[in-house]
């Protein structure tokens, strides 16, 4: 069954109601909600037209450039939010790329899925979204921990600790926190939540068992790539809070 633009418009009324409530409660997020809602519409519309062309792409280089473009946009989005962490764009870009290319590399090498745009791009989009969340929480939490534990960090530096030694425990705390969304998602999948991709496949008439197998693969890849992105961003982020003389940046 095809959804009409009338149906999309009807569903957007819920968001309009949320915006109205946010405005009434003076939450200060009205503009951001409105901006996000409009962006969802145009981004997906654009993606629909692009996908029509892209999903038929066969050449690996075309697929590669599309993936790079997706990662760049994801990194840009996170880095705008995490402007207090130096080089946030590059840290996010490298971390998400590492997560994607390692996990995707394994499943492509194992020939679990084909190197075709219509299989790779949907999987990567799910990976990026989860990795972005993980990296975002990681940087945000680490920044908060370092700010609140400034005294302890300086005490450790005074005792001859390196930047890594002085922030070891804080990095661990930030990593644990950034795993929570991914773990919660994995714990409830199939029981509380039906993932969008699986629901979509079932809507499209695919056998639920076949859809489930595909979803299992996606879930494992999501956990793996989110974990790699989180570790990678933790490894790259903590250094950015220190000068080369091991002083905490202001």
Residues that bind other proteins (CB under 8 A): 151-152, 154-162, 165, 243, 245-248
Nearer to other proteins, 63 or 156 (CB): 156
Neighbours of 61 (CB within 10 A): 8
Nearer to other proteins, 23 or 86 (CB): 86
CB of 139 to other proteins, least distance (A): 23
CB of 242 to other proteins, least distance (A): 10
Within 13 Å, how many C-alpha atoms sit on residue 93's CB side? 11
Nearer to other proteins, 153 or 234 (CB): 153
CB of 45 to other proteins, least distance (A): 41
The C-alpha atoms of residue 174 and residue 139 are separated, in whole angstroms, by 8
Nearer to other proteins, 184 or 247 (CB): 247
CB of 225 to other proteins, least distance (A): 33
Cα separation values, 175 from 76, 237, 239, Å = 21, 11, 15
Burial of 9 (0-12, 13-18, 19+ CB in 10 A): exposed
Neighbours of 139 (CB within 10 A): 28
């Amino acid at each position: 069954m095809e959804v009409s633009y009338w149906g999309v418009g009807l569903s957007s009324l819920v968001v309009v109601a949320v915006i109205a409530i946010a405005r009434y409660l003076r939450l200060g997020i009205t503009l951001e909600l409105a901006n996000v809602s409009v962006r969802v519409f145009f981004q997906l519309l654009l993606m629909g037209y692009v996908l029509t062309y892209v999903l038929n792409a066969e050449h690996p280089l075309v697929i590669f450039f599309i993936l790079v473009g997706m990662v760049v946009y994801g990194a840009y989005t996170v880095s705008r939010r995490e402007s207090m962490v130096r080089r946030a764009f590059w840290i996010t870009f490298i971390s998400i790329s590492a997560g994607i290319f390692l996990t995707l590399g394994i499943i492509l090498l194992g020939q679990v899925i084909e190197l075709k745009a219509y299989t790779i791009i949907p999987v990567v989009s799910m990976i990026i979204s989860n990795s972005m969340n993980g990296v975002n929480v990681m940087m945000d939490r680490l920044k908060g921990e370092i700010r609140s534990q400034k005294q302890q960090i300086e005490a450790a530096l005074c005792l001859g600790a390196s930047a890594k030694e002085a922030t070891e425990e804080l990095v661990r705390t930030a990593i644990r926190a950034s795993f929570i969304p991914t773990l919660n998602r994995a714990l409830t999948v199939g029981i509380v939540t039906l993932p969008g991709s699986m629901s979509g496949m079932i809507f499209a008439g695919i056998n639920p068992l076949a859809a489930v197998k595909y979803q299992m693969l996606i879930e494992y890849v999501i956990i793996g790539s989110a974990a790699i992105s989180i570790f990678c961003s933790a490894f790259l982020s903590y250094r950015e809070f220190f000068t080369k003389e091991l002083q905490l940046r202001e």
